[in-house]
Amino acid sequence: MVEVVDSTNQYLAGINGKIVDETRNMLVIEVEDMYEKQVPKMGSTFVFHLPVGSGCSPATSVEVGGTLLLSQPENRTKNIRKLRMR
């Protein structure tokens, strides 16, 4: 589960649901009424709710700025490695 806690677009703040797709600049979130909302990563802050049994005990929430997520999902691990080497 993910929740948008802050956004430059006031109408996107408060959206919560399940991430169903991701592009370089957007997260697609399926909200409770089965609609999909596209939320830009740039200018948004997300809280990811990690369930029990995902290596975290008890359930944990992690706040992440969308600018940290800006990259193609398949290239993100390469980019993180480059940042650590600096």
Residue owning tokens 């980019």: 79
pLDDT value of residue 56: 61
Residues facing residue 2 across a β-bridge:
17, 48
pLDDT (tens digit, 9 = 90+) per residue, 17-38?
999 999 999 999 999 888 999 9
Q: Under CATH, which number does the domain 2-51+60-84 receive?
A: 2.30.30.210
Task: Kindly tell me if the per-residue pLDDT of 86 is higher than 60.
Answer: no
Distance from C-alpha of 12 to C-alpha of 78, rounded to nearest angstrom: 30
Verify cis geometry, omega within 30 degrees of 0, for the bond prior to 58: yes
Other C-beta atoms closer than 10 Å to the C-beta of 56 total: 12
pLDDT value of residue 22: 92
pLDDT (tens digit, 9 = 90+) per residue, 42-68?
999 999 988 877 566 677 899 999 988
